[in-house]
Chain A
């Protein structure tokens, strides 16, 4: 069933132990380098030397109000979305599931639109809660659909999710068109961090906290991924576990959608790459997934800012291009080996 492509790297924990001790320095160095680069790039004049002038100077102002929030927002969004993807893959037991291939993101967007139509003055935290509620409902709709159909192939799961997302998006577009909100809708559907300033990204810390919680509960999600009977045998409440896992995913997705818009495929590529290198032990891979997720988003954002400097290409477009190509690679990789 859906589990077949999951267990490919079951032997990998030993390898992971050997790797993680020697490789741990590399991503940390890379992250530091990319954070420095991300802070340094921008249309305004900025140099690290100017910071020595003291906390009152223009350079400090720029750093604290614009550059640092943006970099932090990117890191937080990348980390939490990648981990959200990993949790979903564990719970649904399918490698190709993540918030944007399960109707979650599209449902969150619908929630934001409904709120913008009915109660446009809702504070951003309330927006996030409503979006999370819609996202959760959409994800359960997806799971309900999966339960009703015979799963003959692991590819059917993301296929159903993508189309369900498309149908939800059609509903969203219908209302956005009717009420002249297509432009606003565009801002939520294509991720863009150029508007991030101090005071406009703090919601993402909630996502980061949830990511940390997911790490603590990682073993339980791994057990839940083994199936309902197995989980119950080990004395855990399967339904509650699934619910909490998906709640975390829904909240993370909606914090990102509300703050910056959707970033497609991120939660799919990063965990898959990590599992190719390190294997499937979730507790061990969560930190790697988080770090690589942050790195990937930072790198994509830097690309988007440099290619048409001083303008920007929104990160949703950059990740959609690079991530889409990687997704195809992951999909067709198995085929060429004749699996």
Chain B
């Protein structure tokens, strides 16, 4: 990596990647639009905005999570965080009903409550997994994945407790997917992500130190506990946003964060974070363009991501050096 960075500076790499991302976005908006702009622009624009937000949230949260865990394989979704969000969402609908406050404004309020609960539970889950006696990476990964499976089962269990006649309708309305992006949450999602990333950006130099490991970071005067807990809060916000918009995608974060490590040409977070975000946009939007417009395949991009990401994950955990 060091030898490669002699050829291209991080800034140049970032610029090239931005151009690629811009091209992909343009392709998404323009290919096959057929001149019907009044319909196409708002329709595709909302979809694009959601995808960019999701790519942004997943990329950022994955890199930050890997920084605070000092590990390039763990991501929030692999550790069951987005399944946890599904469970919280289901539990809220079950206990309060889908419209506890009438029609107006409650989407945003419910989202806020969900995010707050999510932050609390994510911190609990994190502590349960990372403060045990022995730190076996494989045990943590396995436990995280099983937590994810458990949360998903529990979420559908709770959903089934609601009147089964309404269940399917509710499921469609509550649980987003790449085919049913929840665009009504766009504004509140954008605000939440904007605030979270502002905080993360202010902390970027601390993260450069944090990635060196707990002992070194403490030695260099970082308030380790506070920074980690604060970051977990940010991660919880971003996971909530992405899961609320498109549902859980297990391996996307792993894919873009590892690509960022290889391609950023620097291990400083001021380069890593934007590069990861741009790769996220390229993959998500580009994948959609490729699948829907170019190959004209009736397929959803998340399935392809799970396939490729799963293979990458297998490769990463089975490598000799870990």
- Residue ranges of A at the interface with B (Cβ–Cβ < 8 Å): 96, 145, 148-150, 152-153, 155-156, 158-160, 162-164, 166-167, 169-171, 173-174, 177-178, 190, 264, 307-308, 311, 313-314, 317-318, 320-321, 324-325, 327-328, 331-332, 335-336, 338-339
B198 close to A (CB within 8 Å): no
Taking a contact as CB atoms under 8 Å apart, the answer to whether B318 and A145 are in contact is: yes
- Given A153-B139, A155-B142, A159-B317, A166:B149 Cβ within 8 A: no
| Distance to closest chain A CB from B18 (angstroms) | 30
Stretch from B25-33, B54-62, B129-137, B280-288 forming part of the interface with A = B129-137
Taking a contact as CB atoms under 8 Å apart, the answer to whether B157 and A318 are in contact is: yes
- Report A-chain residues with C-beta under 8 Å of the C-beta of B139: 153, 155, 331, 335
- Report A-chain residues with C-beta under 8 Å of the C-beta of B226: none
Contact of B299 among A150, A155, A177, A335 (CB under 8 A): A177
Contact of A320 among B134, B153, B322 (CB under 8 A): B153
| Distance to closest chain B CB from A112 (angstroms) | 18
Q: Who on chain A is nearest to B297 by CB? A: A178
- Report A-chain residues with C-beta under 8 Å of the C-beta of B160: 308, 311, 313-314, 317
Taking a contact as CB atoms under 8 Å apart, the answer to whether B150 and A321 are in contact is: yes
Give CA–CA (A320, B150) in the complex, Å: 6
- Given A178-B298, A317-B153, A159:B138 Cβ within 8 A: yes
- Given A159-B138, A164-B314, A313:B157 Cβ within 8 A: yes
Contact of B306 among A164, A170, A314, A335 (CB under 8 A): A170
Taking a contact as CB atoms under 8 Å apart, the answer to whether A177 and B298 are in contact is: yes
Taking a contact as CB atoms under 8 Å apart, the answer to whether B314 and A308 are in contact is: no
- Report B-chain residues with C-beta under 8 Å of the C-beta of A178: 297-299
Give CA–CA (A149, B29) in the complex, Å: 44
| Distance to closest chain B CB from A267 (angstroms) | 15
- Report B-chain residues with C-beta under 8 Å of the C-beta of A190: 156
Contact of B153 among A167, A324, A331 (CB under 8 A): A324
B311 close to A (CB within 8 Å): yes
Taking a contact as CB atoms under 8 Å apart, the answer to whether A166 and B161 are in contact is: no
Number of A-B residue pairs having CB atoms within 8 Å of each other in the complex: 121
Q: Who on chain B is nearest to A332 by CB? A: B143
- Residue ranges of B at the interface with A (Cβ–Cβ < 8 Å): 132-134, 136, 138-139, 141-143, 145-147, 149-150, 152-154, 156-157, 160-161, 164, 250, 297-300, 303-304, 306-307, 310-311, 313-314, 317-318, 320, 322
Give CA–CA (A162, B300) in the complex, Å: 22
Taking a contact as CB atoms under 8 Å apart, the answer to whether B310 and A167 are in contact is: yes
- Report A-chain residues with C-beta under 8 Å of the C-beta of B322: 152
Contact of A153 among B138, B154, B304 (CB under 8 A): B138
- Report B-chain residues with C-beta under 8 Å of the C-beta of A324: 146, 149-150, 153-154
25 contacts between A and B (CB under 8 A): A145-B314, A152-B322, A155-B136, A155-B138, A155-B139, A155-B142, A156-B138, A156-B317, A163-B145, A163-B313, A166-B310, A167-B306, A170-B306, A170-B307, A174-B299, A177-B299, A321-B153, A321-B154, A324-B150, A328-B143, A328-B146, A331-B143, A338-B133, A338-B134, A339-B134
| Distance to closest chain A CB from B107 (angstroms) | 27
Q: Who on chain A is nearest to B78 by CB? A: A163
Contact of B141 among A96, A155, A339 (CB under 8 A): A155
| Distance to closest chain B CB from A332 (angstroms) | 6
- Report B-chain residues with C-beta under 8 Å of the C-beta of A321: 150, 153-154, 157
Give CA–CA (A17, B147) in the complex, Å: 36
- Report A-chain residues with C-beta under 8 Å of the C-beta of B133: 335-336, 338
- Given A158-B142, A318-B157, A328:B307 Cβ within 8 A: no
- Report A-chain residues with C-beta under 8 Å of the C-beta of B136: 153, 155, 335
| Distance to closest chain A CB from B154 (angstroms) | 5
- Report A-chain residues with C-beta under 8 Å of the C-beta of B143: 328, 331-332
Contact of A174 among B146, B164, B303, B310 (CB under 8 A): B303
- Given A160-B314, A335-B133, A320:B149 Cβ within 8 A: yes
Give CA–CA (A160, B316) in the complex, Å: 11
Q: Who on chain A is nearest to B322 by CB? A: A152
Taking a contact as CB atoms under 8 Å apart, the answer to whether A307 and B138 are in contact is: no
Taking a contact as CB atoms under 8 Å apart, the answer to whether A311 and B317 are in contact is: no
Interface centre among A148, A167, A307, A332 (most CB of B within 10 A): A167
If A96-B142, A308-B161, A324-B154 are given as contacts, then 14 extra A-B residue pairs at C-beta distance below 8 Å, sorted by A number, are A167-B310, A167-B314, A169-B306, A177-B298, A308-B164, A313-B161, A317-B156, A318-B157, A320-B157, A321-B150, A331-B139, A331-B146, A338-B133, A339-B134
Give CA–CA (A153, B152) in the complex, Å: 26
- Report B-chain residues with C-beta under 8 Å of the C-beta of A171: 307
Contact of B310 among A153, A163, A328, A331 (CB under 8 A): A163
